Structure 1
């Protein structure tokens, strides 16, 4: 049976880094970062672009799920509302697929430290810090019906190992 692993969390919490590590642990696997479907210039969030991005994500995930070469399909994206996850899942062919939903969270202090480092390295812009902190409460356990991993004091490698253990891998 295939596994579809959804990883969500606020900006800068370490979703992409964790999923890249998970890609190396779970084999054979494929990884899609939802942000890759948003690379556009100018960046515009409208009903039309949101629909396009979600359609592209579902198209790719369905193709990965139907490909016999992969046992594990790893997907990460901000997904700050449970309804986003559920809307995507409704559009996927989940026959013979186990779905895992995992939220990465961090303390305000740890998240601030991570994002400030990313800003210093030119990987993020300063405006991301406040937006990410503002969204942090949306990922609380009572808000998201997902498995939660606090990554405040662990590396992406350690987070990936925790996810692999959850999957029995």
Structure 2
């Protein structure tokens, strides 16, 4: 786990609520994926999406699935994955999760092509069920991809 992200975020055009953004790089290992869930869950709580609530659990599960997929399907030896979590808009109630890895040749299926019967896509089926929208795009500035999801936070955050 590193304190400063070595890899830049991809989508800088989103309107991020002040004080409601978190990003960090983690080692591309199962331990890194586990470690990524903890600060994400803590941030959600500090942003007013409390532990134990449905929205908190949904976002935490999506973070877990996307980080696990980055390790399992996007691992490149010696390269970290990048987690970015933020709330969009000044009074919006949408949490966006972005996980970027550096492996370009293994991309997840597009949302419209997702098949629940595919054992490789089980985690994305969970993401699709919890997120209001999700997708993927190429990583800007280098090889790799970003898989993202947006989840409702139930009520506008103040």
Normalised TM-score (structure 2): 0.32
Normalised TM-score (structure 1): 0.30
Greater C-alpha Rg: 1
Which structure has greater strand proportion? 2
Which structure has greater helix proportion? 1
Structure with the larger RCO, 1 or 2 (CA within 8 Å, 6+ apart) = 1
